[in-house]
Each structure stands twice: as C-alpha cells, then as structure tokens.
Amino acid sequence: MRNSDWATSSFYRWLPVAAMCAVVLADHMTWQDTSLLPLFAVGPALAAAAGPRLRVASATAIAVGLCAVTAVQHDRFGSTRFLVALTAIVVVAVASWFVATLRLRTEKELTDVRAVADTVQQVLLGPVPARTRGGRLAVSYTSAANEARIGGDLYEALPLADGSVRIIVADVQGKGLPAVRTTAVVLAAFREAAPYADGLDDVGRRIERALGRRTENDRFVTAVLAEIAADGSVELLNHGHPAPLVRRGDGLLETAEPHRPGPPLGLDGLTDTGPGRHRTTLEAGDRILFHTDGLTEARDAAGEFYPVLDRAGAALAEPDPDEALAGLRRDVARHTRAPLTDDSAFLLYQHAPPVRAPRPAGHPRAERVA
C-alpha cells in the first residue's frame, strides 16, 4: 500500500471516533446542556462513508456507550432525553448500514468495470517494442477519464523486416464507446496493413477504407503515420494531427511540420489534397516525439497553452526515454496545475543505431597497414 493510500485509510478509520470525541468535548464545555446527546449519531453516519459495514457497527457501539456514559454523568440516564438520543443513534446506524451496503456494492461494480477497462486497454494499446534495429522506443498514455481509463488517443509501432519501424499516433473524434470502437478499427487496420503495405500511402488508404466500412460515416481520426528507417531517414504523413517534435542531439528543438496540412482520416473522400508530407533525417542521439493534442492544448488557469518549444526540451534531454516522457508529464502538470481535460498519448523514438565493434588486427578481413 502506498503511503497516500495508507494515510487516507487511516483518516477514514479514525474520523468517526474523532467526531464523537469532539461531541464529548463540546458536551463537557456545556456541562448543564445535555441536548448534545443525539449528536453521537455522527459516528455511524461517518463510518458509512468508507470501510466495511463492521466499522458502522463498531461506531454504533461506541456512540451508544459514550451517550450512556455522558447521560450518567448528567444524571439523565433513563430520561426521555436520553431515550430520544439513543433512538436517534439507532435509526442513523440502521440507515448507515444500508448506505454502506449500497456503497460497497457500487464500489465492487466500479472495480469490475475498471478491471474490464484495463483489460480492453491492454488489448487495444499493448506495449511497443523497447528496441528496434535503429533505435529505442517509449510510450506514455494518460486518460482524462480515470474512471474509464480508455480514451480516444491511440499509438502503435511495428518493426519491419528491413529494420525500419512504422508508427501511428492518432486521436479519434468523440468520446465514450463510439470512440473506443473507432480506436479498435484504426489499430486493427494499421496492424494488418503496416507490415505488408508498399508504403505509408497504402497504409493510410487501408485505414480509410476500414473506417468507411466499420464505423459511422461522420467518424474521423487525426493521425500521423511515420516510417523510420534503420539509417535514420524519416517519412511522415500528417492527417490533420499535431506535428511531431524533433529534438536534435545538440538540444535544438523543431517541429516536423508538413508544408501543407492534410485532412483527417475518414474525410479524405471530401478533398483531393491528400495528407501533409514531411521528410527528415535523424542522426545518432536525435529523438522524435509523436503526441496528441493533450500536449499542445494543455492550458494553465489563465488559459495559456503549454509552450512546447520553450519547455519540452529540458524533459526530453533525459537520457532514458521512459524517464524523459515521465519528466514531460510532470512539467505539463506543473504548467496546468489542474486535472487533465483531454487524453494524452506520447510515443518517443530515439535514433540509436548499433555500433559495430572494430575488428582485431589479426582478423582476416582487417586492413593491413604497410
């Protein structure tokens, strides 16, 4: 159990006792006024807020005992006022028992729903390979809806036989089950097409056809499709999505922005412009961050957007890719100082081609120096 969980559990465990002790103290301060006896019912009422029903029973027993002791001290034991207070405690205790029963049932249902949601998310957004022939990969996903734990952002990275890797990072229109359904369609189409398609254009067309066949006609998806070769050459197709961020080995930060924006997937039939295109080359140590608009549209209390080019570079300088993404999450949280209002997905690729060890001087293929 984490320290925060333990502290929260202890707080709710002792809160009913602390409240009843406060009633005792208040009664002592107003010695001649025994009208505070019914307030001992606060114990069972608070016990129903958290913990098992046994806690309600324990708080009820303590409340009855304290009420009786206080009445004896005031020489009111057996009086009408004492009996009214006792009745109030019992009535509140019975109500608290039923409230605790309903709460526990609801918590169990919510736990089951979260377990299902976690399983669905693990199926939809599985782990990406930590290493490809030409580099390293790391991902980070956060949903704005903690109760659902499933959002409309998606990512995937599939290594190819030639050492390159094909990547998709996308944001599905809408929320809830329709968005989850569209997410499943896009991921299934990408996973089926990416290993075998002749190029990214073919991958995009297959996703487009899948969206037309298996979703509502008005569903669309903003996405970036990428192919990164083992030598560091990068091809990007941008379908109306935030441009990836490139961090060079010398610390320079730039956006991989296409010269012309393209329409989202699902809307290609409405225009003949096609996706936005961009090419770049990564040197050893360079990184490219694919992300959704949960990064670029994160705002602080004043409505100021997160300044990506000004602040993201420091976090992305962390040598370990996973730690770099964790640091970026923390920096965004420091900027917003508020809960997430949108889902957010990060996928970081670091170009790290394998270094060939030099052959020993005696190796048959080593060059001989005269």
Tell me the pLDDT tens digit for each residue of 238-263: 999 999 999 999 999 999 999 888 89
Q: Are residues 77 and 137 in the same domain?
A: no
Distance, CA of 118 to CA of 59 (rounded, Å): 36
pLDDT digits (tens, 9 = 90+) for 59-78: 999 999 988 988 888 888 88
Structural domain boundaries, residue 130: 126-351
The answer to whether 317 and 325 have CB atoms below 8 angstroms apart is no
Q: Are residues 100 and 185 in the same domain?
A: no
Distance, CA of 317 to CA of 337 (rounded, Å): 23
Q: How many CB atoms lie within 10 A of CB 45?
A: 19
CATH of the domain at 287: 3.60.40.10
pLDDT value, residue 176:
65
Residue 362 in any domain: the answer is no
Burial of 161 (0-12, 13-18, 19+ CB in 10 A): exposed
Q: Are residues 234 and 103 in the same domain?
A: no
Helices then strands, counting H and E runs in the chain, come out as 9, 10
pLDDT value, residue 216:
65
The answer to whether 282 and 288 have CB atoms below 8 angstroms apart is yes
Q: Are residues 180 and 287 in the same domain?
A: yes
Return all residues near 305 (Cβ < 8 A) that are at least 6 apart.
296, 297, 298, 299
Residue 220 in any domain: the answer is yes
Distance, CA of 40 to CA of 112 (rounded, Å): 36
Which residues of the chain are modeled with pLDDT < 70?
1-9, 31-34, 114, 116-122, 144-151, 176-177, 214-218, 268-270, 340-341, 355-370
**Residue matched to tokens 């490219």:** 288
Distance, CA of 256 to CA of 242 (rounded, Å): 9
Q: Are residues 158 and 304 in the same domain?
A: yes
Q: Which ranges in the chain belong to alpha helices (H)?
A: 3-29, 42-47, 53-73, 80-124, 176-193, 200-214, 293-296, 308-316, 321-336
Q: Position 108: which residue type?
A: K
Distance, CA of 35 to CA of 284 (rounded, Å): 78
The tokens describing 95, both together, are 């109500």
Domain count, the chain: 2
Q: Are residues 200 and 137 in the same domain?
A: yes
The tokens describing 234, both together, are 């990068």
Report the sign of the C-alpha dihedral through residues 335, 339, 344, 350, in that order: positive
Distance, CA of 258 to CA of 276 (rounded, Å): 5
- Which residue, of 119, 149, 174, is where some domain finishes? 119
Residue 366 in any domain: the answer is no
Measured in residues, the chain has a length of: 370
The tokens describing 143, both together, are 């949903």
pLDDT value, residue 137:
96
Q: Are residues 270 and 165 in the same domain?
A: yes
Residue 367 in any domain: the answer is no
* Residues paired with residue 16 on neighbouring β-strands, in sequence order: none
Q: Is the pTM of this model over 0.85?
A: no
Q: Are residues 282 and 194 in the same domain?
A: yes
Give the closest residue to 170 by CA, choosing from 69, 244, 70, 251: 244
Strands 135-142 and 253-255, sheet pairing: unpaired
pLDDT value, residue 122:
67
**Residue matched to tokens 């990408």:** 190
Q: Are residues 217 and 90 in the same domain?
A: no
The answer to whether 209 and 254 have CB atoms below 8 angstroms apart is no
Distance, CA of 110 to CA of 149 (rounded, Å): 12
Residue 38 in any domain: the answer is yes
Residue 147 in any domain: the answer is yes
Return all residues near 212 (Cβ < 8 A) that are at least 6 apart.
266, 269
Q: Are residues 139 and 262 in the same domain?
A: yes
Q: Are residues 130 and 96 in the same domain?
A: no
pLDDT value, residue 34:
53
Q: Are residues 154 and 192 in the same domain?
A: yes
Residue 153 in any domain: the answer is yes
The answer to whether 127 and 141 have CB atoms below 8 angstroms apart is no
Residue 21 in any domain: the answer is yes
